[in-house]
Amino acid sequence: MVKKGAGKVKDKWKAKQWVTVLASPSFGNAPIGRVPLSDVEKPGGRVVETTLYDILKQDPQHYSFKLYFQIDKVEGDTAYTILKGHEYSREYLRSLMRRGSSMSDFIKDYTTKDGYVVRVYCIALSQGRMNSSKKHAIRAVMDKTIAERAAALTYDQFVQETVLQKVASDVYNEAKKVTRLRHVGVRKTKLVSRPVAAPAAAAPEILAAPAA
């Protein structure tokens, strides 16, 4: 028996709109998936996860690089994003750790040319043991190199260079003068804050990933 006053059950899925999510301009606005949104006017900062391989489709090792894109605005059935951050997968990070090797780990916030604040996590793994003075020297190289790149680049340009390990390559070229290294990488980035009025930036050209 149907109770009096019982209303229709609202289908929440039918009320949602499916949109195609595009990567940020720094990654060529490549489509990275379709998601349902209940209110396209207020996407609520929804974050979509993908891998670098899904965007570049070049090196299978890029499956180990996770990227997080936050929906910034929606136009029609297309959602535009900003890179919220990236990180090595746990499996990949674990595979880098070896006995008889030392790690120098460095974390610091940097401000880009256009006022974005990014937290950068950089690591260096040596071929043998490192003493504290060498670890300190490598951290100094990391800080100087990353600070220079951040100050010279817009946010889109900077995150492109960090994710594709161009910044890590620059660090390696200087840090190898301190000791023998087998891996230097930016294992994680995180967008900390954005400028109050972010200026529109031209999309940078997609860079080729450096050889391992």
105/185 same-domain check: yes
Tokens at residue 57, please?
Answer: 């489709």
Question: What pLDDT sits at residue 205?
Answer: 55
- Which secondary-structure segment (H or E) carries 72? strand 65-75
CA dist., res. 142 & res. 167, Å (int): 9
Number of domains in the chain: 2
**Burial (Cβ within 10 Å: 0-12, 13-18, ≥19) of residue 28:** middle
110/185 same-domain check: yes
CA dist., res. 28 & res. 31, Å (int): 9
Helix axes 132-152, 155-163, angle to 10 degrees: 140
Stretches where the chain sits below pLDDT 70 are 1-15, 40-44, 197-212
Question: What pLDDT sits at residue 212?
Answer: 43
φ, ψ (nearest 5 deg) of residue 54: -65, -20
Question: What pLDDT sits at residue 99?
Answer: 80
Question: What pLDDT sits at residue 211?
Answer: 46
116/83 same-domain check: no
110/143 same-domain check: yes
Question: What pLDDT sits at residue 100?
Answer: 80
- Which secondary-structure segment (H or E) carries 184? strand 181-193
Which pTM value belongs to this model?
0.82
- Which secondary-structure segment (H or E) carries 86? strand 78-88
The per-residue pLDDT for range 108-162, each reduced to its tens digit, is 999 999 999 999 999 999 998 999 999 999 999 999 999 999 999 999 999 999 9
Q: What CATH number is given to the structural domain containing 145?
A: 3.30.479.30
CA dist., res. 84 & res. 107, Å (int): 17
71/109 same-domain check: no
CA dist., res. 208 & res. 187, Å (int): 18
Q: How far is CA 55 from CA 5, 164, 175, in A?
A: 52, 12, 30
CA dist., res. 140 & res. 158, Å (int): 19
What is the C-alpha radius of gyration for the chain, rounded to an integer number of angstroms?
21
Question: What pLDDT sits at residue 17?
Answer: 85
Residue 58 is part of which domain span?
17-88
User: Is residue 209 included in any domain, yes or no?
Assistant: no
CA dist., res. 89 & res. 91, Å (int): 5
- What DSSP line would sit under 94-119, residue for residue? HHH--TT--EEEEEEEEE-TTS-EEE
104/181 same-domain check: yes
